[in-house]
Every structure is written in structure tokens, then in C-alpha cells.
Amino acid sequence: MTEGHIHSARDRVLDLRRKIEDHDHSYYVLDRPTVSDAEYDGLMRELRTLEAAHPELADPSSPTMRVGGKPSSGFSKAVHRVPMLSLENAMDRDEFRAWHERVRRVLGTEAPESIAFHVEPKLDGISMSLLYENGVLVRAATRGDGETGEDVTANIRTIRSLPLRLHDDGSGIPPLLEVRGEVYVTKADFEAFNARLPEGEPPYANPRNFAGGSVRQLDSAVSAARPLRIALYAIPDGRALGVATQTDVLARLAAFGLPTASAWNRTCSDASACEARWDALDAGRDAMPFEIDGVVIKVDDLGLQEKLGFKSREPRWAIAWKFAAREAVTTLRDIIVNVGRTGVITPAAVLEPVNVGGVTVSNATLHNAEQVARLDLRPGDRVAVARAGDVIPQVVRVVEPGVPRSAPFTMPVVCPSCGTPVVRAEEEVAIRCPNRKCPEQLKAHLRHLAWKDNLDVDGLGDKLIAQLVDRGLVATIPDLFRLDETTLAELDRMGAKSAARIAGSIAAAKTRPLPRWISAFGIRHVGAVVAATIADHAPSLDAFRGLSREALLGMPDVGEIVADAVAGWLADPEHVAMLDALVAAGVAPEPPKRKTEGGPLKGMTAVVTGTLEGLDRRDAEQWLKDAGAKVAGSVSKATTFVLAGEKAGSKLDKARTLGVPVLDLETVRAWLSGGPKPFE
Ligand code: IVH
């Protein structure tokens, strides 16, 4: 026990859980971290240790239970207390206006002069019902058929922004509280995840699909590794809680510490304000962090809602006013096949260029042969192409078969690159080229390696990679690191200057941080996050090479799937030889920065704003983190200081209003190089 006044393990466990919950809330919901990562990790570690030593203190709502361990054996059914309904759709303005008229008509003389509405983004995710018993999350269920859903509690528990225990803002916690909302994934998280998927695993079509798949994982450790979020928007028994409007429902949800889409919700005083809000969200949807497919407009007054009631499966008091679909029709010119990093051969559509919701689309992935067969796509067909946000375009269906119709598509029986007969791994849809020396595989590997999030080899683009491989200058990955400037200068379209620059970026890649190297190896299931965890525990290439499956399993958030993938990769003699050759070629990854246990800024939260002379914002933030600070995106009372440069705006104003110290770069530099702390 670290604190003298805490006498029992039980007290300390309760104390730790409360502290961690508070920190989680500050970090995930308020975006205002209150402790350093190291401190947070320390609390978590202590809690895990105590819980392991005292199994009698186990509690399913403990923060340690978020990362599920044991796979469950399917989902049990969850009967909804109150059926989960769906919403009526309005496809255009006229339909919205007709709905509004109907609301007025049904309310008759009870309709106020102008009816106020609560206008919310229609999150494109998976609807979820959560039950809190005496403030503790006891059940999470999918919608299912509306009456009965699946019990996905273990998976939903892994959502970090979701409190396992409600906050009490003083108004009390009801003995039983059901709240509803949407589980979703941000566009950025979705794209990052798809970009790192092993080949052959078709990328998730859209964030909604991805969220759904992640919620329905039988192994909650898999869900835990997915960047799921949730936004709550309903309390079915709102009136019983004494809440009068949907606006207040959202306020109560937030007061319970539950995440909401508060930044995007509005109370609108009448129908024309709703229309203006719809216009604004329609125009701004690309810039929003998550996918929305429309706007949900709800009569704000819960009393009026009750009067309006339901018609069959839909409430009369709400409508989903959808955005126009982002679909276009074009001609499928050809179906080609690509060979990926691991030899997986995937079909792709070559399209007559077409504008889909403002973006010209001329290629679309087809994922695998089964998809082509399912859609029965053939060159010459007119096809519908859909695009969701920034997501890769999809061919969704044949609109009009070509005349005369081409023969059905078949996958090649030999690799289109090296001619090796293809193989199909058991239980996999994908077919692969088994030749590890296949030039297309090597090219794909090199592209992955050079990718900006991995080794970031500036200048090493697709064309150069193709030339290097096709000319036999690079036959294995280590060959890349043996290239010299002279060899590069002899290539097509390569001046002495570019050759020098590229040689420089290849040299620089040799000492990229270890997590980037681990991610660059392209091991199945190992993306940036897992790579960072591994590097923290095995802080050198040698340590990494020596990792056992058991050691991997001991790392936070590493489950059997990841551990098997990494251990299997490390055991492969070809990878052992490659690692030896890389080291011989001078590859020496920079070890991860030691977690700042006691940096000078430990326990402080800093915010960076404005333009800093000679230091880009990201570097400045890293610099502060290295000194032990937490860096937050917005100024609050929890901010210790603001580092402000030129042209600082609202954050500076906020800091001044709150009395948060504002420091310039020079002052912080002087402080961190041993000078006095510039504030109290
Ligand atoms: S209210 C009875 N609000 O849209 C009303 N639904 O098309 C229940 N959805 O099943 C839903 N954002 O999954 C509501 N702000 C929002 C929503 C929302 C997304 C989803 C929800 C629902 C579907 C209906």
C-alpha cells in the first residue's frame, strides 16, 4: 500500500478504481487529461496487481475489466425492456415539411405557435441499449429485431470513453437507468485500421460495417483492439426521471458522464431552423469526424412526444431526414488483378471515370473473387458505384448488363506477376501467390515499408520501387538499404540531386524509431498501436527478436491472435535472415523514448497554440511529452500552462480568462534546461 492512511487492500482497490475512472473521464470524454501516461499506467498496474492478489475483490465494473480476456461462446439474447424502434425517413425537404405538418395536425390545438425540435446528426453506426443498475453498467444489447437483441456487454465494456459507472452530479443515480445511443468509429480511425489490415482480409466497406463487426466479436480482446466509440442520445424513461425535453435528456446524459455528440446537437426553435441546420450538416458532413447519413429531428418537448405517440414501429415525434446517397452509375471497363504484400491476389475494377458526390472515381477494389461472383460483375456492364465519405469507392451492383455480355470473371490460376501457380489457404477466401520472391509482392512490401506512417522514405514512390525491382537492383528488402547514390543516379528520370536526396532518406530510414520498424515489417494484426506496445516492452531490435509468445501475451492489449502472429513471424527462418541482413546493412532502429517517469513536467498538462519560431506544433508537443507532460487540445481549468507562439487565438483568450499561465517558447526552453519554474 502506498498511502499510510489506507488500511486495507479493499480500500486501496476502490480508491484506485475511482481515480482511474476520473482520469478516463477527463481523458476520453472531456479531452482534458489530468495525469501523465506514466502515472496512469502506474495506477492501472497497481490495481491489476491488487486484484490478482485479492480475487475476492473482483468486480466486473473495474477499469481492469475493459480489456476482455476470455472468448465468450456466442451471445446470449437480451430482451429489451422497451422495444427499440426505428425511425421514419424523409428523403427530401418536401417530405420533411409534410412530416412537420402532420406533427402540427396530430397535436391540433395543443400545438404551440412554433414547435421546438432537437436536431441531431444521424450517426451511421450500430444502435445500442445500455442498462445501468445502481449506476453500474450491467448490460449492453444490440437492437436485434427491436424486441430482442444480442448481449454484447463484454465488448461494449472495452469502449474506453464509456463509463462503467455513472457519475453522480448530485442529482442522484436512478436504481435502473436505460440509455440508448450509437456505437460508431471515426473516419480517421476507420481508415487507419483498414490501411493496416493484412492482405486478403477484405477491408471493411464503411465505418458502420466495421463498427458492427467489432461489436459482434466473440473474443472481446478483439473488440478491445478496435477503435470503437459511442454517443448516447436517448433515455427511454426520460419523463420518469423528471426530464422535460430532449435537450435536457442530452444534458442529463452528459451529467452522468456519458459521451454524447454534444458538439453537433442543436435545439431549433422551429421547422425552418431545422432546415437550416440540415443544410449546415449536409454541407459540412465531409469535415465531420464521423460518418452521418442524415439528421434526426425530434420534437423537443417530451410531453408533446407522448401526445404524438407511435405508429406501428416508429415514433411520430421523430424523423430521420437523410442526405442524398453518394452513388453514380458508370461502365465497368475491366476487371484486373493485383498481387499484394503477402501474395494475396485481389481483383479490382477499372471504371469509366465518373463523378461520385464530387470526387472522380476510376478504380474500385473488389476485395475477392467471391464478391465479383456475388455481384456477377462483367466488363462492359453498367454498374453503381458508391462512396462513403473518404472511404474507398465500392461497386455495389450491376445496373444494366453489357450487350453482348462478357464471360464471367475467373481468377487467374497462375500469379500474373511471376507465373507461379496460385494456392488457396484453407478456410480463406483469398488466393495467393506462394512465391516469396514474387516481384509484385516485393514491390508491395517496399511500398508498405516506405509509407509515411512506417519508415517514411521520402521519394521512394511506386514508380521508383517498380524500377528498382524490375531492374533487379532490389531483390530482397535488405537490398534497399545497400543501394548507393551512384546506383540510384543511373536510373531513368533520376538526376544527381534526387539520387542524393533519396539515398539520404533511405539512410535516415535505418534509424527510424523501433515502433515504426515493427509496423513496417507488415506482420499480421500488427499496426501502429500494437507495434508501439511491443516496442515499449522490447525496446531494441534484439529484444524484439527474442520475444516469446508468453512475453507477448504479458503485454497489455496483446491477445492470442496478435501473440501468435508475432511469434510465428519471428520464428520464420526467412524473417530471421532478413533481420540479420538488415542489421548488417546498418539498420539500427532508435529505441522508444523511455516513458518519462520523472520528467520535469510530470503531472502537468500543457496546451500548445499559435506558431512557434522554428518548431512545428507536433514537435513542440512531443518535446513537452518527452519532458513528462500530458498535452491537451483545449484549455481548461486542468491545464497547467499554455505554450503560446505568434498568432495565438481563442486558446490564449481562454487561458487568460481562466488564469492559466501563458509561456513563450524561450521561457519554456529556459525552464526545461534547468531554469526556474516560471509560475507557481
Ligand atoms: S433516435 C425511436 N437519434 O438511426 C427513436 N437514432 O434509422 C430511436 N440513429 O435505430 C432512434 N443517430 O440506430 C436516434 N441521433 C439519433 C440517431 C439515431 C443514429 C440511428 C439509430 C436508429 C436508426 C433509425
Instruction: List the one residue out of 621, 625, 617 whose CA is nearest residue 594.
Output: 625
Task: Quickly list H helices, 196-270.
Answer: 207-215, 220-224, 246-255
Q: Which residue has the least CA distance to atom 2 on ligand 1?
A: 85
Phi-psi region of 586 (alpha: psi -120 to 50; beta: other; left: phi over 0): left
Q: Which residue has the least CA distance to atom 18 on ligand 1?
A: 122
What spacing in Å lies between the alpha carbon of 357 and ligand 1's midpoint?
24
Judged against a pLDDT cut of 50, whether residue 679 lies above it is answered with yes
Burial 332-356 (b: 16+ CB within 10 A, else e): beebebebbbbbbbbbbbebeebeb
Q: Ligand 1, from 99, 118, 119, 122: best to mutate by most atoms within 8 Å of Cβ?
A: 122
Cell of 106: 396530430
Contacts of 270 (CB under 8 A, 6+ apart): 114, 115, 116, 117
Q: Ligand 1, from 84, 87, 319: best to mutate by most atoms within 8 Å of Cβ?
A: 87
Distance from C-alpha of 468 to C-alpha of 478, rounded to nearest angstrom: 13
Q: What is the pLDDT of residues 171-214, one digit of tens each?
A: 889 999 999 999 999 988 888 888 777 666 666 767 888 898 89
**What's the average model confidence in pLDDT over 570-592?**
95
510 Cα distance to chain centroid: 29
What spacing in Å lies between the alpha carbon of 315 and ligand 1's midpoint?
11
Distance from C-alpha of 522 to C-alpha of 623, rounded to nearest angstrom: 29
Catalytic residue among 19, 77, 122, 510: 122
Instruction: List the one residue out of 263, 123, 258 whose CA is nearest residue 184.
Output: 123
Contact call for residues 513 and 521 (beta carbons, < 8 A): no
| Amino acid identity, position 427 | E
Contact call for residues 269 and 245 (beta carbons, < 8 A): no
Distance from C-alpha of 76 to C-alpha of 72, rounded to nearest angstrom: 10
pLDDT attached to residue 40: 81
Q: Which residue has the least CA distance to atom 7 on ligand 1?
A: 87
Global pTM?
Answer: 0.56
Separation of first and last alpha carbons in the chain: 31
| Amino acid identity, position 104 | R
Write out residues with Cβ below 6 Å of ligand 1: 85-87, 120, 122-123, 127, 182, 233-234, 296, 315, 318, 320
Q: What is the pLDDT of residues 131-163, one digit of tens each?
A: 999 999 999 999 988 888 999 999 999 998 999
Give how far Cα 142 sits from Cα of 54, 120, 139, 180, 220, Å: 34, 21, 10, 10, 15
Q: What is the pLDDT of residues 10-33, one digit of tens each?
A: 999 999 999 888 887 776 666 566
Mean pLDDT for the chain? Answer: 88
Contacts of 75 (CB under 8 A, 6+ apart): 150, 151, 152, 216, 218
Is 443 among the residues known to form the active site? no
Q: What is the pLDDT of residues 611-665, one digit of tens each?
A: 887 777 777 888 888 788 888 888 998 999 999 988 888 888 889 888 899 998 8
Burial 27-36 (b: 16+ CB within 10 A, else e): bbbeebbbbb
Q: Which residue has the least CA distance to atom 21 on ligand 1?
A: 127
Phi and psi at residue 50, in whole multiples of 5°? -65, -40
